[in-house]
A and B are shown apart, each in its own frame.
Chain A
Amino acid sequence: MIKQIDYPNILLDALEHGVMIVDEEFNIVYWNQWLEINTGHTYSSVMEKSLLTFYPEIDYRTLQRKIRTTLRLNSPTFYDASLNNRFIPIPRNKITSSLLSTMQLQVTISPYIVEQRMVMIAVYDISDLHELKLVRQQQMEKIAHLNSELQHDKQIIDDNLLIVKTDGEFHITEVSKAFNAFFGFKENELIGWPLQIIYSDKTPLTEYTYMKKTLQNLERWTGEIEIISKQSEPLWMDAVMTPWIAREGVLSSYMAIYHDITDKKRLEILATTDPLTKLYNRYKFDEIFNIMLMRGHWKADDSFAIVMADIDNFKHINDMYGHPRGDEVLVKIAELLAKMLREGDTIARWGGEEFIFLLPHVDAHKAMFVAEKLRIAVEQLGLFVNVSVSFGVSLYVEGDTNATLLNRADTALYKAKENGKNRVEILQ
């Protein structure tokens, strides 16, 4: 006799998910092997018994409504799978993750034998999928938290730091709120303009070129720079500019952070400037002079000169026209001399009616030429009284000190006076 094979039951037991058949009163008619193994309730122990006996915590009102809907529409109904299991709890044995202690189930209620009011409830373990979702959700929450912190920090920076960003061509791309507020610019007003537009035109071109070159070499540039506000007020800034390398060494932009040092600068200017002529005072000149001496790599054809100048017959002007007019002459000559110098030259008031110059990168001939040019300019100044200036030049040679150079320039000046004034003498 051929043994009858129970194909449907074998098939249901072979399934990789749970299948139970229940009637409208929740009486269990079938319980497959997957459920036996995973719930610990055997087929024989649950058969003909109510689901309620084993799982009293299920919301049976909802389950009944879903079963009724399934039978009435002859179409499957579903439990929502996006939240924790709301059907039977089935323990989960995953050790390497503790996000889910019970299986997350996808529950589908399908019509089975509608005339006998029976449905098939299939439960699918979607824990791994749900776990991924939870992990992703946790990561998204972390990212959201970090983003909010980042946003907060960015806000603090934007509100408090004076920052300008430029593209690789030094055109402004971004300006912090604090910068706009501090300098009186409107939002986006500076965007697209060259960075140079915010700098004072007193900024030496060489300084700007040096800054650009440093940054293009992917190095940081620091320095003091004067920025002009929207209201045309010059403000001194301590600046740090850094190149921004986006990826694979490709330079993409520059960022400048400014710090207001206007008050410090004013004090510094007061300490280093002659109040009448606005030229450097003796203290500041000495500082620059000593730096030049320390460089020490000067040659005969590329040296630096010290030029001392003294207004001829200045005592006579004071006596004739009074000290205020004498001061006026001093100021006018100072302005003229300062204006005529090359970029990088230094002029200071040495005392009384005396000025001193430091001319880098000259030889004796060029130093004499510059001094002569200055002399002629003063001669042609056209003030209320004819004025002239005598010049004494000395050129740095190896072994010179501050004192020896000054002494030679002073002697040359004395010689110029001796030789009739309004002339230039050099002592090498």
Chain B
Amino acid sequence: MNKKVEFSGDHLDVLRELMNIAVGNATASIADLLQAFGTMHIPKIVISDISGLKQYIHDTIPIQSSHYVTKQLFGGPLGGEFIFVITDEAAINLGNHLYDVDAPSDADIYDAVIELTNILSATMISRLTEELNVKVQFFVPSTEIIQGNDLIYLEDTLEYSQIIIISTQMEFQNQNINGHIFILTKDAMIQSLKDLIDQKLEELYA
């Protein structure tokens, strides 16, 4: 069992502040690149274990709908998984908006979801890592349709002991598009994140 990394109030405050900047950055980028103007909620930050993550997702994502779930890994000194969850209805609206057609094809919808995820992950993670003075590598995202809110496969999570959940919600009312974002990082990466925040704190108070 890995030793749990303890986050102080200061660490969480810095992370929260950095995520606020990242979210603002993402909203601006989406407005610029996709001509969709909306808001993103202040991110929630939770330190949990695997059962807590499952519960958190169950509490956040409605079970009644089916969802397009896009997962993208990012690596480097700060690595983890970026997950974007959008209901199929919102995904169709997104496809409709980006491809400017009344009935977007499945391919249009998948591509639109990937495109929005690209922008969200690139802006949020890049901004976060930029602030922490590290580089990040994005891997190819994949999208699947999931009935309900069972986003986590048991076999995928056996190695996790501690997880940081950063979650937020985006809403674009004119286009009737909203979705949930989860940024998950685990174990060694949490230590790495803590070290990076320590460096940031030193910079700020040097």
Contact = CB atoms under 8 A, between A and B. Distances in A.
Interface of A: 62, 65-66, 68-69, 72-84, 86, 106, 108
A78 B118 CA distance: 7
Nearest to B72: A78
B30 to A, nearest CB: 10
A79 B118 contact: no
A80 B143 contact: yes
Interface centre among B98, B115, B142 (most CB of A within 10 A): B115
Contacts of B144: 82
Contact of A82 (B29, B98, B115, B142): B142
Contacts, number: 60
Given A68-B33, A73-B119, A73-B122, A81 B111 contact: no
Interface in B117-164: 118-119, 122-123, 126, 138, 140-144
Interface footprint category on B: 20 to 34
Nearest to A59: B99
A137 to B, nearest CB: 12
B106 A83 contact: yes
A33 B1 CA distance: 49
B24 to A, nearest CB: 14
A40 B34 CA distance: 35
B140 A65 contact: no
Contact of B111 (A74, A75, A76, A86): A86
Contacts of B118: 69, 75-78
Interface of B: 29, 32-34, 98-99, 106-107, 110-111, 113-115, 118-119, 122-123, 126, 138, 140-144
7 contacts: A68-B33, A72-B32, A72-B33, A75-B122, A76-B118, A77-B118, A81-B140
Nearest to A86: B107
B111 A62 contact: yes
B138 A72 contact: no
Contacts of A62: 98-99, 111, 115
A73 B141 contact: no
Nearest to A81: B140
A308 B110 CA distance: 93
B47 to A, nearest CB: 27
B126 to A, nearest CB: 6
A134 to B, nearest CB: 15
A63 B119 CA distance: 14
Given A62-B99, A81-B140, A82-B142, A73 B126 contact: yes
